[in-house]
Amino acid sequence: QVTLKESGPGILQPSQTLSLTCTFSGFSLSTYGMGVGWIRQPSGKGLEWLANIWWDDDKYYNPSLKNRLTISKDTSNNQAFLKITNVDTADTATYYCARDLGDWGQGVMVTVSS
């Protein structure tokens, strides 16, 4: 059974760096073809894809976030990470991680506020 769970700071201040962790089970990110991505959703709004990382460490980012994103993985501990630098209130959202866009975590709410 595949499960994913996101974790994060909950609340942070503008200009800080947001660090998110996706802890998963039921699959390995070292398996050929496997990928994990991050998607976010402001409250009451639609979905925005942010980044994806693959088994071979290939990475793709949404350029709309202007180089503020860094995705990484720890295969041995079944985790994937996302960092967003220089956050502002527009980054307030629920952040999801997903395996190959098919299996999603429950999401973690992040609020950016001074």
Q: Residue numbers of the site for another protein (CB under 8 A)?
A: 39, 46-49, 52, 60-64, 96, 101-107
For another protein, give the closer residue by CB, 48 or 83: 48
The alpha-carbon radius of gyration of the chain (Å, integer) is 13
What single-letter DSSP state applies at residue 107?
-
What single-letter DSSP state applies at residue 65?
G
**Shortest distance, CB of residue 106 to another protein, whole angstroms?**
6
Question: CA–CA separation, 114 vs 73, rounded Å?
Answer: 30
Dihedral angle sign, alpha carbons of residues 107, 64, 17, 98: positive
For another protein, give the closer residue by CB, 62 or 92: 62
For another protein, give the closer residue by CB, 16 or 55: 55
**Shortest distance, CB of residue 48 to another protein, whole angstroms?**
7
Question: CA–CA separation, 12 vs 63, rounded Å?
Answer: 23
For another protein, give the closer residue by CB, 3 or 13: 3
**Shortest distance, CB of residue 63 to another protein, whole angstroms?**
6
Question: CA–CA separation, 114 vs 106, rounded Å?
Answer: 26
**Shortest distance, CB of residue 76 to another protein, whole angstroms?**
26
